Amino acid sequence: MTRTISVVDLSEKVRQQVRPERFAHILRVAELAAQIARANRLDVEKTYLAAILHDAARDLSDQKLMELAPPVIALELSHPLSLHGRAGRKLAEQWGIEDEEVLEAIEGHVYGVRPDHPIGMALYVADVSEPGRGVNHDIRELALAGRLLEAYQKAVICKVRYLESKGIEPHPRTLAAYRAVLEQLEADT
């Protein structure tokens, strides 16, 4: 998975790239993601690794984000920060990460993932509900109670509704994740 680089070394690479406040957030997300992984019988090491790397590109300049993850739609060009998941994936690949599940989780933490991607769901939920954010306690509790899919569904729905309430256009990949969640909810009823 990581060829010759350890999680400790990767964590240090990330720490050197982000502001101290961002790194504190990353550590909280990683700890929560590991707890969610344990509660839902997922691979804790892969989940923790994805979480440590998820915001590696978050504090890069717009220019650097666009170099690592060239925009493919107008929304990404006008909001380069929306590229930080794809750019983070690219950094992870450059640092030796080859595990596709981990890479997809890093990329998907911004947009959402398919509801059949448990590590991506765990990271997404941990990112939106880590205690430092002061919101989404109910989502966090669902995930920690072993109800990851339910927590993820609620998180995606909340994100899209929040963006729409603020007049912010959701990324097409976020809308795809939202539609997948709604379809799954309809199928379950």
Asked whether residue 1 is assigned to any structural domain, the reply reads no
CA distance 53 to 12: 10
Q: What is the mean pLDDT of residues 16-43?
A: 98
Is 145 part of a structural domain of the chain?
yes
Mean pLDDT, rounded, of the chain: 95
Tens digits of per-residue pLDDT, 117-155?
A: 999 999 999 999 999 999 999 999 999 999 999 999 999
Residue 82 resides in a domain: yes
Q: Tell the residue number behind the tokens 């969640």, with chain if given.
A: 181
What is the distance between the alpha carbons of residues 170 and 156, in angstroms, rounded to a whole number?
A: 11
Tell me the CA end-to-end span of the chain in Å, nearest whole number.
39
**Mean pLDDT, residues 113-118 taken together:** 92
Domain presence at residue 2: no
Flag whether 178 is in a domain: yes
Tell me how many domains the chain contains: 1
Mean pLDDT for 99-128 is 96
Whether 83 maps to a domain, the answer reads: yes
| Residue 113's CATH number | 1.10.3210.10
Residue span of the structural domain in which 150 resides: 7-188
Domain contains 46 = yes
| 123 part of a folded domain | yes
Q: What pLDDT does residue 179 have? A: 94
